[in-house]
Structure 1
Amino acid sequence: MMKNWLAAGTVALTVGMASAIAQAQTTTVPGEQVGLAVGAPLPEGIYAINTFTYRRTDGRNDPDTAVNIPVLVWSTPLVPFGGRVELLVAPPTVFVFTRNPAGQPNKDISINVGTFVGGIWAFDLGGNFGVSLLGGVYLNDLNGDRGSLFTGSTRVNPLSGTGQIPVGTPVLPQLSSNTYRFGIAGSYTGDGWNITTNLTANIYDSPGRFGGPVGAFIGPIRLSNALNFDFTATKKFGNFEIGPVAYGTYNFDISQFSAAVGNRGRFAIGGLIGYDFKVFTVQAYVARDVVTGATLTNAFGRTRSDYSTDGWIRFIVPLYSPTPAASPIPTPLVRKY
């Protein structure tokens, strides 16, 4: 049962988004897939999965951030070349909670990420090994909140030299472009183990642009393609599971014009616990950066790494599975002696 629900968590790898400006640009949240046997195919049916993460960095003036990722997946009866086809949709939301003691009241904000639509092609290789391929897109250009803010001031239009235009700033620069997502994962799920490795690529239409007068002021945004990677090694003991997890992200373009300027990425290590309630599964895990490209400057003018701590909780709920065909009633064998 737990193996099936861990496999159900496969769909969580198809959604998510960056949790803050300090996230260093990737749209898919690093770590959203750990704890799941993302390489294993789902049994046929419909599943609901919700993953929530809350993140705090060391910087005193950095915002706390959270991301909620609801997912609906249909594991179809289609198995071309032996691989299960799974279709999914997800509308993630990011929340920002300010901690900076400003001269005027701070405001918390939320931004809807472009709905993710995509699919997975997952293969059972036998011997408790599985592998899956993923493809999809976050539709930021179509229905994302786009993530640019008006600062409350204006300036002379640099193109005409006359008139005033609003000054803005991007909250999540990666939302200036659709995000194309591709992934490959492998899992071993024998004897209560979940040993999984996974790679996820985010590809952008760079430079990205926001619409409207604020977007015109911000101008083109150079986006870095990114690669996320994660590792899980949990073991089930009865209805409980426990084990270490690790994840990270790598930005390819960190030049001065990139949205990921100066930040090559991060790598975090943590631990996971979970419980199988039979009708649904709950997982929780916490991880802390051990390497990060983000930096902060303290009150003494010294620059150091701006490490972060992530807390996660996930619910996996199977909603529907096909009713097994009823076995035929055996016909009594009558013999005459």
Structure 2
Amino acid sequence: MKSGQNARRAALATTFACLAAMPGTALARSAALPGITIGLPTGWQVPEGVQMAITTSFAERSTRPRDNQGNNNLVVFLWATPWKVLGGQLRFLQSFPFNAQSPQGGPWQAGLFQPLTTAQIAWKINDNLGVSYFLGGFWPSDTLLALRSASIAQRFAISYVGDGWNVTANLHYGTMLAENSPTNVHYSDYMNLDLTATKRIGKWAVGAVAFGSTDLPTNRPGYRPVGQFAMGGLVSYAFDTFTVQTMLTRDIAQRNLGGEETRAWMRFLVPLWRPEKKPDQVPNRVTVRRNSAAGPGVARE
């Protein structure tokens, strides 16, 4: 039994090493999936309470001799607190990704990828404009197909939300805490940029999204940095208790990934808890009652 487990682990390690040597959908060096925040007004304050976002996407990259395919699934819990820090809204996020990959048409491999734990502060600049700063970290993962280095994640977002618009830019900066993985794959720091421009029309929203990602320079000889830039569209609908977003994106440029990627996205935004609103308290009032025996009297309600 032990030898069988070791053989399976060795096979997975070999698969990962082959993937690392070739371009692949899931082997962009970014710890965050490029484009993961498109469609969201990440620079704006959100209602106090707990929200859940479930994002799933299926991607196919046109590589040779066969396409690479990947399915990415991410659950994020966001707690928007009532507390203020430096005048901004304090919120906490925790994510849990579960991804699956089929390199070059081979067998699918799946596992829990790197969870993210972070805090964020969002400031209102005026009634329609907000900015936010996000600081946290990705935990290391034992999944062989995942990045296995812990990393620091910073994000800087700006959002305009006036007149039903959501115009947002969210810049990701990632700092890897290890240079090499246990399978001798090299890691570099990375930068991503997620862009959104959508318009709400009643319960519908439509518009454009785009994202780019790039490895940052490294001194390692022979290292080939990867990068991409993709564009696409968004359609969403707000139901009474949740919102559904659908998006389709396509690479218009890529570097060292072996081919362009097409990705279909779906996201569910679900509020889980809101603090109960206290009923309006009736202010103290003075009423005058008259009766023939006592004369004028005062009662406080």
Among 24, 43, 50, the residue aligned to 2:47: 43
Per the alignment, residue 176 of structure 1 pairs with: 148
Cα pair 1:118 1:135 within 8 Å, conserved: yes
Among 92, 95, 109, the residue aligned to 1:90: 95
Among 52, 55, 62, the residue aligned to 1:58: 62
Cα pair 2:196 2:209 within 8 Å, conserved: yes
1:121 partnered with 2:118: no
Q: CA deviation at 1:250?
A: 1.4
Among 224, 227, 232, the residue aligned to 1:270: 232
Offset from partner CA, 1:153-201 (integer Å, 9 cap, x none): xxxxxxxxxxxxxxxxxx34xx231021001000000110000111001
1:80 partnered with 2:85: yes
Q: SS where residue 241 of structure 2 aligns?
A: coil
Structure 1 residue runs without a partner (length 5+): 1-18, 101-105, 148-170, 211-217, 297-305
Cα pair 2:227 2:257 within 8 Å, conserved: no
Among 25, 30, 54, the residue aligned to 2:29: 25
What are the equivalent positions in structure 2 for 1:172-321 lying under 5 Å apart? 172=146, 175-210=147-182, 218-219=183-184, 221-253=185-217, 257=221, 261-294=223-256, 296=258, 306-321=259-274
* Percent of residue pairs bearing the same amino acid type: 28
The residue identity in structure 1 corresponding to 2:242 is F
How many residue pairs align between the two structures?
Answer: 267
Task: Say which is worse superposed, 85-94 or 240-249, in terms of deviation.
Answer: 85-94
Offset from partner CA, 1:103-138 (integer Å, 9 cap, x none): xxx421112113211111111122311100001111
Structure 2 residue runs without a partner (length 5+): 1-22, 291-301
The residue identity in structure 1 corresponding to 2:98 is T
Cα pair 2:25 2:68 within 8 Å, conserved: no
Cα pair 2:142 2:148 within 8 Å, conserved: no
Cα pair 2:210 2:230 within 8 Å, conserved: yes
Per the alignment, residue 157 of structure 1 pairs with: none
Q: SS where residue 76 of structure 1 aligns?
A: strand
Q: CA deviation at 1:264?
A: 3.9
User: Distance in 1 between the 2:24 and 2:104 partners?
Assistant: 13
- Would you tell me which structure has more strand in proportion to its own residues? 2
Q: SS where residue 91 of structure 2 aligns?
A: strand
Report runs of 4+ in structure 1 exceeding 2 Å deviation.
19-24, 97-100, 253-258, 261-264, 329-337
User: Distance in 2 between the 1:281 and 1:75 partners?
Assistant: 18
TM-score (norm 1): 0.74
User: Distance in 2 between the 1:200 and 1:252 partners?
Assistant: 12
Cα pair 2:61 2:262 within 8 Å, conserved: yes
| Alignment CA distance shift 1:20-1:136 (3 Å) | farther
The residue identity in structure 1 corresponding to 2:110 is S
User: Distance in 2 between the 1:75 and 1:22 partners?
Assistant: 31
Q: SS where residue 33 of structure 1 aligns?
A: coil
Offset from partner CA, 1:298-323 (integer Å, 9 cap, x none): xxxxxxxx111111100000011111
Q: CA deviation at 1:255?
A: 7.0
Per the alignment, residue 162 of structure 1 pairs with: none
Task: Say which is worse superposed, 58-67 or 314-323, in terms of deviation.
Answer: 58-67
User: Distance in 1 between the 2:257 and 2:25 partners?
Assistant: 12
